[in-house]
Amino acid sequence: MQVLGEMLIGRESVRGGQAEMRALNPSTNAPIAPVFGAGGAAEVDRACRLAAAAFDSYSRITPQLRARFLDSIAENLEGLGDTLVTRCVAETGLPAERVSGEIAWTAGQLRMFARVVVRGLWRSATIDSADPNRQPLPRVDLRMQKVPLGPVVVFGASNFPILYSVAGGDTASALASGCPVVAKAHPSHLGTSELVGRAIQKAVADNGLHEGVFSLIIGDGNPIGEALVDHPETKAVAFTGSEAGGMALVRRGLMRAQPIPVFAEMTSANPHFVLPAALAARADTFATRFVEQMVASVGQMCLTPGIILAVDGPGFDALRSTLRKTLADTPSATMLARNIHANFERGVERLRCSTGVTEFARGAERAGVLNGRAYLFEVDAKAVLDDIQLLDEVFGPSAILVHCQSVDEMLAVAGAMRGQLSTVVHLEPADHELAHRLLPLVEAKTGRIVINAFSNMVEISDAQVHGGPFPATSDPRFTAVGSTAIDRFLRPVAYQNFPHELLPPALRDDNPLGLWRLRDDVPGSA
């Protein structure tokens, strides 16, 4: 398979005529062939109308066929092999093993959603049987299931060009729910997007689905994204990226004549609380591991650890000195794109100029123009309590140590913290009493709490939550990863007094889909 520089609109491959766009190698800033043709409102309109035309049939195919379709995407993605790895490495500067790993995880995620579709818990199938003898009024026959919302627009992330992009969690969960997808190619990995898009397009055709089930739009700047959110056939949006970009789309979705939900996963600094006994016991090990994790992928992960909170006392000096020493040996590395690098430099500069913040360690001098050099800052808890935004994420290899004078100060910062995707607590049994006070504060601010580990491995499973209060996401009631990510694209419908032959399969008496259902207050497979 070859990169042609084209959009995918239903079964067609279309060259956009609005502008030319080029993929860039972030290490050299050199363009990578071919030139891409950017689309505009006309292509958006075609893709969204096709998605709407596909919706009814796609939403009603059997769970088995929908699962097979997701499995086919996984297979086609894996089938891209070295073509995809090579292209993605060129466009992002990520190491080949990282890209291969992402492909494997993405395929695994698609296969998980295939199983989720068939298991069908997402339908929340519920039956309240009629009771003609109830007093004072008879009870009607009422049944409920969840159905898909309609066409979903997906804006992938730059930092996980496979796992959070065209065939990533948003697309996989939307397709699993029964929603067609119109994806926008991220400008920092255009060729990768096209290749992955073709893998999906082929799966649509091979499974005999309506061509509108998937389209991929290429376009330049904000107008193309706005056209996608504004299109009347768009019924929901999923976005991964910056707080400014995400909230602009969320608000735009709500300003439409017909408002739609836009889920945005945005920013998180992923604090690590090191409780006193843990600090005394293993400041060194923690510091070494922390630096390793904060510079992994040049700090460009949603779950990169960015904050350490510790109370002055045994281990604090060791923590600081090991952090400094370990960071000094850390080489700089290529960042994903020019704008990301520029934002990183600005973020570091902002911290450096903030009252009460000191830079106390830095990584090795940068080797390339787009390389990210690592930084560690330190700040007193008091300063943080005056301005909690000192703890905002700096996307890249930067972290900040919050120096607390007492346990109460640490608890105060925990209570003032903004929303996070993940929060980590390092503790020993002697810290449990403190943990009982800290954990409720942490729970109120985070989507996932991790004990004695790092949070940047995300298990893709039923119990996963990759979400959290603002600004981690735009709506804390949902997750972007894990099997319940599908809930973002579903709505409940009740069916009252239906003749049996008109009932949807999920709600028929004989349970032909073999679903787990809530029937007359009893959960089970009846």
- As annotated, the active-site residues are 265, 302
* Minimum distance of a copy of itself from residue 418's CB (angstroms): 8
| Residue 497 found at the interface with a copy of itself (CB under 8 A) | yes
Q: Which two tokens stand for residue 432?
A: 């449990």
Comparing CB distances to a copy of itself, the nearer of 42 and 494 is 494
**Of 284-292, 312-320, 404-412, 476-484, which segment contacts a copy of itself by CB under 8 A?**
476-484
Which of helix, strand or coil describes residue 435?
helix
* Minimum distance of a copy of itself from residue 266's CB (angstroms): 11
Return d(Cα 379, Cα 396) in angstroms, integer.
19
| Residue 80 found at the interface with a copy of itself (CB under 8 A) | no
**Token match 């449990």: residue?**
432
* Minimum distance of a copy of itself from residue 260's CB (angstroms): 8
CA-wise closest residue to 149 among 174, 132, 124: 174
**Of 183-191, 343-351, 358-366, 480-488, which segment contacts a copy of itself by CB under 8 A?**
480-488
Binding test (CB under 8 A) with a copy of itself, winner from 42, 65, 367, 453: 453
| Residue 78 found at the interface with a copy of itself (CB under 8 A) | no
Size of the site for a copy of itself (CB under 8 A): 79
> Do 151 and 183 contact (CB within 8 A), yes or no?
no
| Residue 523 found at the interface with a copy of itself (CB under 8 A) | yes
Mark 43-62 with x for binding to a copy of itself (rule: CB under 8 A) and - for no binding.
-------------x---x--
Comparing CB distances to a copy of itself, the nearer of 16 and 419 is 419
**Of 79-87, 371-379, 396-404, 479-487, which segment contacts a copy of itself by CB under 8 A?**
479-487
What DSSP letter does each residue of 336-356 carry, written as one string?
Answer: S-HHHHHHHHHHHHHHHTSTT
Return d(Cα 258, Cα 235) in angstroms, integer.
9
**Of 151-159, 190-198, 223-231, 481-489, which segment contacts a copy of itself by CB under 8 A?**
481-489
**Token match 């000191």: residue?**
358
**Token match 């299109």: residue?**
231
| Residue 508 found at the interface with a copy of itself (CB under 8 A) | no
| Residue 208 found at the interface with a copy of itself (CB under 8 A) | no
Binding test (CB under 8 A) with a copy of itself, winner from 68, 289, 491, 508: 491
* Minimum distance of a copy of itself from residue 387's CB (angstroms): 14
Long-range contacts formed by 499-505: CB under 8 A, 24+ apart: 503/143, 504/145
**Of 7-15, 33-41, 119-127, 376-384, which segment contacts a copy of itself by CB under 8 A?**
119-127
| Residue 25 found at the interface with a copy of itself (CB under 8 A) | no
* Minimum distance of a copy of itself from residue 116's CB (angstroms): 10
* Minimum distance of a copy of itself from residue 9's CB (angstroms): 23
Return d(Cα 458, Cα 110) in angstroms, integer.
15
Residue 207 backbone phi and psi in degrees, to 5 = -95, 10
Angle, helices 169-177/63-79, rounded to nearest 10 degrees: 160
| Residue 447 found at the interface with a copy of itself (CB under 8 A) | yes
CA distances to 17, 100, 112, 490 from 484, in Å: 39, 26, 11, 11
Residue 259 backbone phi and psi in degrees, to 5 = -60, 145
Binding test (CB under 8 A) with a copy of itself, winner from 452, 509, 514, 526: 452
Give the list of residues 6+ apart from residue 66 with CB closer than 8 angstroms, or none. 58, 114, 117, 175, 176, 178
Binding test (CB under 8 A) with a copy of itself, winner from 254, 342, 388, 430: 254
Comparing CB distances to a copy of itself, the nearer of 129 and 406 is 129
Return d(Cα 247, Cα 207) in angstroms, integer.
36
* Minimum distance of a copy of itself from residue 501's CB (angstroms): 7
Give, as ranges, the residues between 147 and 206 that touch a copy of itself (CB under 8 A).
Answer: 147, 149-150
| Residue 470 found at the interface with a copy of itself (CB under 8 A) | yes
What DSSP letter does each residue of 151-192 carry, written as one string?
Answer: -EEEE--SSSTTTTSTTSHHHHHHHHHT--EEEEPPGGGHHH
